Amino acid sequence: MVAREAGKEPWRYAAAGISIALRVTPRGGRDDIDGIEQLADGRSVLKVRVRAIADGGEANKAVLVLLAKSLGVPKASVRLLSGATSRLKQIAVDGDPARLGEALRQLVSAKSTD
């Protein structure tokens, strides 16, 4: 199921940037953002897949690099807040919150038209 309502975005705005709720699929065949998914408990998450395996933090590193590249920010601006050993993660991205939110909306809308 895909969440499309504005209130269901899996990111939250803060003064220094945004935090994003993710559901990560390691060994997913490619590094890509697959769109928004609604979990059984009603929370929305950004679906991300990476080629890296979930061993020694390799998948986490790949997720941070993918998000930095996709959002056009330096890798140092993206950090893992929680979920180091879980598929569900919270990521913080430093930068202009409005620009980052718009970039995420564009990425997600491009996936919904594929």
Please give the Cα distance from 106 to 61 (Å, whole number): 23
Would strands 11-14 and 17-25 be described as parallel, antiparallel, or unpaired? antiparallel
The pLDDT, as a whole number, for residue 6 is 46
Helix/strand/coil for 112 = helix
% pLDDT > 90, the chain: 87
Q: Which CATH number fits domain 9-108: 3.40.1190.20, 3.40.640.10, 3.30.1200.10, 1.10.3720.10?
A: 3.30.1200.10
Q: Is 102 exposed, middle or buried (0-12, 13-18, 19+ CB in 10 A)?
A: exposed
Does residue 3 carry a pLDDT above 90?
no
**Domains of the chain: which residue ranges?**
9-108
The pLDDT, as a whole number, for residue 110 is 81
Question: What is the average pLDDT value for the chain, to the nearest integer?
Answer: 91
The pLDDT, as a whole number, for residue 8 is 84
Mean pLDDT of 50-58: 94
Phi-psi region of 113 (alpha: psi -120 to 50; beta: other; left: phi over 0): alpha
